[in-house]
Structure 1
């Protein structure tokens, strides 16, 4: 374990626990937001789903501002250069502002066409989604600044501050949302205003943290270019992931209504559980990045071993819980016998893949921390194009239905598992291109 300033560095769980809180804060707020807006009627709820889906899609694609910055900052911190690690946060913040403004302009110009495309018609749901998106997209630069802030603070092993900042912003949104939607009479637009207000507060806290470090705020093109190189690989990886899940949903929609309902239940649980397991990836990024920055490959390999054990153990526990609680959990989502029958099929796949996913997500973090994102990109895209997408597309014509799609998703996880295990078992990831040379 790395020792810094005479004290032992935090362990995997000490870093993973606050990371999990940050990861879960946004989904939990969205659940409350959905419940508040749901009282306005189905049109408002549909509008939130359309507009919120577009904004969430943009945030997911640009999440490299957090993950890429963590890797670069951790390497500098591990080398004893805290000022350099914080400087990575400054440059990531400039990049976040630039990309956030681009997203804002895009949604202001194309909010109407995009919401109509996603809603499938030029009706009231599309109009509601457009009105929500035009206001909520004002928070895009703020949201991305917060991602950058999370990145550099993770890199210097300070995960409690991001947790406090994110919870503060989320709490503000939680208080404002019902007040603005109902008593203030803003309706669906009130939800968007509450989102922006919370994002503004969180972003302000992250910027204040940077200012207190006393680092120069001048943009450096070489550092921005280096961050974009990491971002390019992570962006391409995220884009292929998003498209693969969209293809799977489109295929299931053609299989039948019961299959689509069951798939929605299972895939949302998959995404939620991925958040739990991804907390280990964040811990791995920080610890591996600092170990390699300190020229301690032995510590990096030990971190890989530990997060693999934690990921596997947690995956086994989650799988057992899913199987044991299926009769209790499924009725919470639906009482339709046809949907329950189809969801039971997907449930077995969902449970079976959890131990595999626990290891995959943990080792994803190891390779990200090592700056080996090019390999990670290639493995993920290859697994999607060889396993997930082909089996999903063949599911309907071959009569495999929902089982075919979830076989594809399981194969996708298994192929990624093989890829990351082979890489981490070797030595090349310990000599991956330095993420901080630029």
Structure 2
């Protein structure tokens, strides 16, 4: 095997990570632009959008395996030199997305009222949340096709097209929402329809790009049942991993809310800062998915090991830089969000802990992406569940001991440290480096 020079690894990582970061940041702008427009309708409408948005975000978060699993599988075939099989596997992932979307529409329609009630919507907010969710259900297949299509292109080592589609989708969503809500006066239903149409347009672009690749490579586009089963099986471990992550996020918010208004306000702002930095680190992880899958598909174990070390180095370096940046802006950042003295004090404390955890997050996110690229979903599922089991009693004990928001962030730090240890032990070994076109 030929060892690439470190500079080439750097160029490869940046070529994939920088556009991926742009696409990741563009995605949350969908709901943010909706909020800016719907906010002009009234508090109840904005609250309805918030409830519906949380439900939809949970769904998309759980189905992110459609992107991650497809990236890994397609990248392996690319590494093995079989572009036709790579496109074929990507098409299977997109058919799986359509099938899951259809099931979710049928299953979700009668469950909308209890879902809204589960999120604690008031009598004034609930009707608007239900309206938005009923319309948005029709956009779920498109949302999932976008996830799978993104995975296909990342596996093909293309992160620029997903960036362009994300920007185009956000722009179309903003325009349609403005017209439907502010000009035509359709209310929150107009916002939902605008988002559904924007999502459908984005999905259509991905379908067109993948169909063009299928024609070029001579790959069939009809559903393949064996391929669908393979895609579903590969995604099961990632689904469990994602569900465990979601549990931590939900429990963390619930504990902060029970501490008091100032605590939940400070926690939410601190967590939004954490999330923003996570997007940047996740961009390296996405590059790790695509690069690792390709190297292992090419049976280049030494290259896989070398690029893994380099990406972990990038993760640590970025984590240190992000941590120092948070500390640098910390004295002034709270003023952007609150004038409440208690919230400001708690946020200042939270930001120190957010900063300290960034190097750990850099290692965790990058290794997570590398192992996803290797198709090591079963190990990720088990170890993420282990980390969640560590987090839950720690968070509850510290809450019971009145450790406050510091205790909550300490529990999150323990969760991240557990993930770092388990992922690091796996990466040091060789069992995850299964070579060839299929894991």
TM-score (norm 2): 0.95
From 410, 420, 428, the equivalent of 1:425 is 428
SS in 2 for 1:111: helix
Question: Is 1:216 matched up with 2:220?
Answer: yes
1:13-412 paired onto structure 2 within 5 Å: 13-121=14-122, 123-213=123-213, 214=215, 215-386=219-390, 388-412=391-415
Offset, 1:397:
1.6
Deviations 1:201-250 (A, max 9, x none): 11000000121122212222222112112211111111111112111211
Offset, 1:262:
0.7
Offset, 1:120:
4.4
Residue 285 of structure 1 contacts residue 366 of structure 1 at CA under 8 Å; is this kept in 2? yes
Tell me the residue number matched to 1:436.
438
SS in 2 for 1:157: coil
How many angstroms apart in 1 are the aligned matches of 2:379 and 2:2? Answer: 26
| Farther off after superposition, 136-145 or 261-270 | 261-270
Offset, 1:409:
0.5
SS in 1 for 2:311: helix
Residue 297 of structure 2 contacts residue 438 of structure 2 at CA under 8 Å; is this kept in 1? no
Residue 30 of structure 2 contacts residue 195 of structure 2 at CA under 8 Å; is this kept in 1? no
Offset, 1:184:
1.0
Deviations 1:19-77 (A, max 9, x none): 11111111123222211111222111110110011011000000000000000000000
SS in 2 for 1:185: coil
Offset, 1:2:
8.3
How many angstroms apart in 1 are the aligned matches of 2:73 and 2:437? Answer: 5
SS in 2 for 1:431: coil
Residue 235 of structure 2 contacts residue 377 of structure 2 at CA under 8 Å; is this kept in 1? no
| Farther off after superposition, 349-358 or 389-398 | 389-398
Residue 248 of structure 1 contacts residue 393 of structure 1 at CA under 8 Å; is this kept in 2? no
How many angstroms apart in 2 are the aligned matches of 1:114 and 1:173? Answer: 25
Residue 89 of structure 1 contacts residue 149 of structure 1 at CA under 8 Å; is this kept in 2? yes
How many angstroms apart in 2 are the aligned matches of 1:179 and 1:163? Answer: 25
SS in 2 for 1:327: coil
How many angstroms apart in 2 are the aligned matches of 1:411 and 1:293? Answer: 35
Structure 1 vs Structure 2 CA RMSD:
1.8
Deviations 1:233-283 (A, max 9, x none): 111111111112111211111111111111111112222221111000110
Deviations 1:155-175 (A, max 9, x none): 111111122122211111011
Offset, 1:408:
0.6
Residue 31 of structure 2 contacts residue 53 of structure 2 at CA under 8 Å; is this kept in 1? no
CA change 1:54–1:27 in 2 (3 A) is same
How many angstroms apart in 2 are the aligned matches of 1:42 and 1:302? Answer: 53
Residue 244 of structure 1 contacts residue 384 of structure 1 at CA under 8 Å; is this kept in 2? yes
Offset, 1:185:
0.2
Higher relative contact order (CA 8 A, sep 6+): 2
Residue 108 of structure 1 contacts residue 134 of structure 1 at CA under 8 Å; is this kept in 2? yes
How many angstroms apart in 1 are the aligned matches of 2:166 and 2:38? Answer: 22
